[in-house]
Structure 1
Amino acid sequence: MLTALDGTYGDRADAIGVAGRTASYEELLGAAGAVAADIAGAPAVAVTATASLETVAAVVGALLAGVPCVPLPPDAGPAERDHILRDSGAVAIEADFARRAAPPTAAPGASPQDPALILYTSGTTGPPKGVVLAADALAADLDALAEAWQWSAEDTLVHGLPLFHVHGLVLGVLGALRTGSRLVHTGRPTPQAYAAAGGSLYFGVPTVWSRVAADPASAAALSGARLLVSGSAPLPAPVFRDLERLTGHRPVERYGMTETLITVSGRAGGEVRPGTVGTPLPGIRTRIAAEPGAEIGELQLTGPTLFSGYLGRPEATAAAYTEDGWFRTGDIAAVDESDGVHRIVGRASIDMIKSGGYRIGAGEIENALLDHPKVSEAAVVGVPDADLGQRIVAFVVAEGVTGAELTDFVAAHLSVHKRPREVRFVASVPRNAMGKPQKKLLLDGHFGGEAR
């Protein structure tokens, strides 16, 4: 699957760069080979996915060994980390980039349909679920994106995205190793780092692009690029317009989920309109499940990039599909009848928050807050934010504790990016007759609460 490592595209000393360190394909292959030799036959391995050459070597080593790899968020709290390790059965490993070994031959009986990655994604309730992705799904998606974005070995890909999600790891690392493009991972995705990288292809989430647009000098430095790609959350139209004005590029947006990989995208050289995510990639079919007479409805899809299932959760896997086998995205969308361009309207549920490019389940944060001994009720929502897309706001019933203390409490138990940006204290959480929180009332401001 990792075509660049078999010599197809030659080699160079700086083929892979992460946070200021560089390596050739040969060096990466040797370090990954050492990892593969160590883990041969393991049921699954977990890698703390820091922005480092060690993370790249560990993930590649697992793929070479045919061992499912579980990337762990480096900022995960002990409860989240323990859940992922326990649920996946993975053994945590570390790579030593100084070690070298010959890559292994293919394991007997290995199949492209075998699990390659297990990525944990937040649901609207309960702990994260493991999304099983096979090697053939990864390859199908990367090949489709290479065609859509005219992505080739002539490119230099630049991004600074986390290496435990589809965007940063699958597209941003494995994509470079499949297409042969040079990779520059900037570490932190600052505007200045993007400007200094000299890339032809840039990946970013809306938070990154809003910060680039707020730094005109850095934005202007991207004018020599070939393509800017935005994803993981809708790109605000003002940011789109600012980037176009400052860089001369109209950013391409794409749409996907952990369970489906990237399925819909704008095209390099094609018409790009703000607020749209393009058309289905080759092999992907979409449909809108709308009420009679409605123009919008749930986006459903099918194709070769879909996940193999939720790890150990056959009921949840079955519930994710319609009776005739189409995946339910839970996103509300509209399709332009004239050209098939898709527009994502929003979530079917308000319990999924997209903040800073992360998909965050409100239920997981609520559970963490309720673990605090002074919190009796909690409801978490996402509210519009010019920088983050949405910011996490927690409405809590509690006494004798401050908002800052609760924020720190959540950050210590879950990933830091899941902490509330704002805590509001209320006398009660509005509920319906079934006892379910009525978050629409919170979002509408009827229960404003007090910040303290």
Structure 2
Amino acid sequence: MTLLLPALQSPTGPAASREAVRFGDLSLTYGRLAEASAALAARIADAGRVAVWATPTAETVIAVVAALRAGVPAVPLNPRTGESELAHILADSAPTAVLAGPDDTLPGALEKLRRVTVDTRAFERTDGHPAVEADPEAPALIVYTSGTTGPPKGAVLPRRAIAASLDALEDAWGWTGDDVLVHALPLFHVHGLILGVLGPLRRGGSLRHLGKFSAEGVARELGSGGTMLFGVPTMYHRLAEVLDTPAGAAERDALARALAGARLLVSGSAALPVHDHERIAAATGRRVIERYGMTETLMNTGIRADGVPRPGTVGPPLAGVELRLVEEDGTVLDEPGAIGEIQVRGPNLFTGYLNRPDATAAAHTANGWFRTGDVGTVDEDGYVTIVGRKATDLIKSGGYKIGAGEIENVLLAHPGVREVAVTGEEDPDLGERVVAWVVAADPDSPPPAEELADHVAGQLAPHKRPRTVRFLDALPRNDLGKIMKRSLRA
């Protein structure tokens, strides 16, 4: 097969001096990254499977690239994972070694593994290890899901799926080696690691990682040569807040110029509220585009760079991806606007869940469609809109199917609402009633609940009005900024 990262195979001449990744003051050229990863690959070639202590550092990049070069499956570990969850992941994936930076303090659960230190400051120079021409179906990464319905499951991602998704995004976004990607995403999941690190490296482009997200960092890096920004809705919300505030004119103007000059602003991992779409567009003249993917499928859909941006949608299926909507009884829904579970099929899919043939079988139909558990609609142009998760965002009230997302977008347009999440709650009359969890713009003077309910009914339909409004100081979120609705319902 084609090498996953051809630019790192044997960079010579000008390619060797081109910047591959930058973390703060530390920059690695393609030549140095190739040399460091080859040396590390030689040390882990017989490891069988390795864990990677995935901090947002250059050491994590070297570790993952080295594993790919050696043909050794890597298990990225979230450094913030709790003790019991970490123990489960280690027992399930059974790595023989852990790759970590020299200054990393590892928890006791990792002490039984051979520690292989990844040091960008000093590494043993050897003849290195040539990149493996592995089978396309060979596992490249084992990424653990969030485990919302039980212990996390390890999604086995083959080299074929990574190549297919990244090449589909090259087609959709015109992604080239001239692009400089800016982001501050964690490096233990699909968005930050596969799209955000392997994406630029597969194209021969470069990555500037902010370490910690800030509007100032985004403005600095986009304003000094960055061409693309990847983020999650929480990050874009914070950027919109800076652009929308009358204070700090210098910071606001610098950010607006930087965002306006970027080639692509991409949001993912959750839906970006339409209110934030509009605020950013008004201040910069640029539209944020969205894409849709998940751990098991990598990327499924995306707004094309040469397409029409439509706030609230995630675009049409990417090249090679089949997508359909299915009713609960298995009926395929063809009419535009119908709401159903999204199922996908294509070369972007994972191999299966590690050690879980039962879960793998349950996640697929007999003819190979993957059941995403997400609910959505498809319009006449093929653009997909995500309603939400089947378990938490599809509310069945009074005989109607109601998507939580559209109610959230309407509530976010109310001046008294800073953040909101909408869920369903058991109701003896309606089946489920609509519940809005609201963070008020002014906590000392929240808007009346009846006013918010009337606002929704006036914009949408009476049956979509929240029957209950609960005010919170903050919404529970995970490391990606996704709202944890199961925590609200609990």
Do structure 1's residue 317 and structure 2's residue 320 form an aligned pair?
no
- Describe the superposition over 1:7-34 as per-residue Cα deviations: whole angstroms up to 9, x where unpaired: 3982335331023311101111111112
- 1:163 aligns with one of 180, 187, 190: 187
Matches within 5 A, 1:159-198: 159-198=183-222
Q: CA deviation at 1:63?
A: 0.5
Residue identity opposite 1:347 in structure 2? R
The answer to whether the 8 A contact 1:44-1:68 is kept is yes
Q: Quick one: structure 1 residues 87 and 418, their matched pair in 2 at CA, closer, same or farther if it must change by over 3 Å?
A: farther
C-alpha distance in 1 between matches for 2:481 and 2:218: 25
C-alpha distance in 2 between matches for 1:250 and 1:18: 27
Matches within 5 A, 1:119-158: 119-158=143-182
Residue identity opposite 1:214 in structure 2? E
Residue identity opposite 2:321 in structure 1? I
Name whichever of 1-10 and 191-200 sits farther off: 1-10
Listed as ranges, the gaps of 5+ residues in structure 2 are 101-117, 244-251, 395-403, 406-434, 442-475
Match of 1:254? 291
The answer to whether the 8 A contact 2:341-2:371 is kept is yes
Match of 1:3? 6
- Describe the superposition over 1:34-83 as per-residue Cα deviations: whole angstroms up to 9, x where unpaired: 22111112121011111111110000000001000011001112222221
- Describe the superposition over 1:153-197 as per-residue Cα deviations: whole angstroms up to 9, x where unpaired: 111111010000111000000001001112101111211101100
Do structure 1's residue 329 and structure 2's residue 329 form an aligned pair?
no
Do structure 1's residue 223 and structure 2's residue 223 form an aligned pair?
no
Q: Quick one: structure 1 residues 323 and 382, their matched pair in 2 at CA, closer, same or farther if it must change by over 3 Å?
A: farther
Q: Quick one: structure 1 residues 301 and 383, their matched pair in 2 at CA, closer, same or farther if it must change by over 3 Å?
A: farther
Match of 1:12? 17
The answer to whether the 8 A contact 2:236-2:276 is kept is yes
Q: Relative contact order: is structure 1 or structure 2 higher (C-alpha 8 Å, sep ≥ 6)? A: 1
**SS of structure 2 residue aligned to 1:151:** coil
The answer to whether the 8 A contact 2:93-2:154 is kept is yes
Residue identity opposite 1:73 in structure 2? N
**SS of structure 2 residue aligned to 1:280:** coil
C-alpha distance in 1 between matches for 2:228 and 2:98: 33
The answer to whether the 8 A contact 1:29-1:103 is kept is no
- Describe the superposition over 1:339-387 as per-residue Cα deviations: whole angstroms up to 9, x where unpaired: 1111011111029999xxxxxxxxxxxxxxxxxxxxxxxxxx9957699
Q: CA deviation at 1:253?
A: 0.3
Match of 1:35? 40
Match of 1:430? none
Match of 2:382? 340
Under a length normalisation based on structure 2, what TM-score does the superposition of the two structures give? 0.71
Match of 1:429? none
Do structure 1's residue 64 and structure 2's residue 69 form an aligned pair?
yes
Residue identity opposite 1:220 in structure 2? R
Do structure 1's residue 265 and structure 2's residue 271 form an aligned pair?
no
Residue identity opposite 2:195 in structure 1? L
Q: Quick one: structure 1 residues 75 and 285, their matched pair in 2 at CA, closer, same or farther if it must change by over 3 Å?
A: same
Residue identity opposite 2:290 in structure 1? E
**SS of structure 2 residue aligned to 1:334:** strand
Identical columns (%): 50
- 2:130 aligns with one of 80, 102, 105: 105
Match of 2:27? 22
Q: CA deviation at 1:2?
A: 0.6
C-alpha distance in 2 between matches for 1:259 and 1:382: 30
Q: CA deviation at 1:287?
A: 0.6
Q: Larger Cα Rg: Structure 1 or Structure 2?
A: 2
Paired positions, count: 377
The answer to whether the 8 A contact 1:254-1:265 is kept is yes
Match of 1:203? 230
- Describe the superposition over 1:186-222 as per-residue Cα deviations: whole angstroms up to 9, x where unpaired: 1112111011002111100000101111112124321
Residue identity opposite 1:53 in structure 2? A
Q: CA deviation at 1:101?
A: 3.5
Match of 1:350? 392
The answer to whether the 8 A contact 1:206-1:234 is kept is yes
**SS of structure 1 residue aligned to 2:19:** coil
Residue identity opposite 1:96 in structure 2? D
The answer to whether the 8 A contact 2:56-2:186 is kept is yes
RMSD: 3.2
Q: Quick one: structure 1 residues 421 and 194, their matched pair in 2 at CA, closer, same or farther if it must change by over 3 Å?
A: same
C-alpha distance in 2 between matches for 1:273 and 1:419: 21
**SS of structure 2 residue aligned to 1:318:** helix
- 1:96 aligns with one of 114, 119, 124: 119
**SS of structure 2 residue aligned to 1:138:** helix
Match of 2:342? 299
The answer to whether the 8 A contact 2:181-2:200 is kept is yes
Match of 2:417? none
Q: Quick one: structure 1 residues 298 and 417, their matched pair in 2 at CA, closer, same or farther if it must change by over 3 Å?
A: closer
